[in-house]
Amino acid sequence: MTDWQDATWLNEPPRWSAGPQELRLWTVQGTDFWQRTHYDFIHDSGHFLGFAAQQPFTAQVRVRGAYSALYDQAGLMLRADAGHWIKAGVEFVGQQQLSAVVTRGFSDWSVCPVGRPAFFDLKLTRRAEAVSIHSRLPDADWSLLRLAYLPPELTVSVGVYACSPQGGGFEAVFSDFALGPAETGALY
């Protein structure tokens, strides 16, 4: 059970609701997180609800969304500041795509088509300078999506995010959020 009252909003959406089992939010049009690369713009307007996190840690969440407009996105985010963050989720780019963006002054982006699952699970584990990103689709095992570098001295928040760079009113639903000690073991 998650007490969302213990988390802090960055760019709180005007419409959202939270209970012990889930958080539901609706995005504002033109919201995004991105730094410079390719598009030459800076956006730090996405909706993020984060918990303070001491490393090492693992955060996990289940996400459902009504993806329809180009770049509608929702998932799990680790954030130090506007120039240092990692987001992983599903993003609508012609279809639902599993997505990861790592930003250290400049953003990068990777995507992989995932069909139209009813939900997906995400997990971020931070140990020292390494952040591992895992995903899981319904009836599947966890799979490594990415291993990324983040300076170990950065203090971060971790939580959920949603954005609508093109559309607006995208509904994202987050459940089963957990934040605890870092998982150990193989990356895959």
C-alpha to C-alpha distances, 132 to 159, 177, 188, nearest whole angstrom:
15, 17, 10
- pLDDT for res 14: 96
pLDDT at residue 60 tops 70: yes
Domain of 105, in residue numbers: 7-14+23-180
- pLDDT for res 185: 78
**Mean pLDDT to the nearest integer, 180-187:** 86
The pTM assigned to this predicted structure is 0.95
Burial label for 101, CB within 10 Å (0-12, 13-18, 19+), is buried
pLDDT tens digit sequence for 152-164: 999 999 999 999 9
The answer to whether position 89 is within a domain reads yes
CATH of the domain at 49: 2.60.120.200
3-state helix, strand, coil in the chain (%, to 5): 0, 55, 40
Domain count, the chain: 1
- pLDDT for res 8: 98
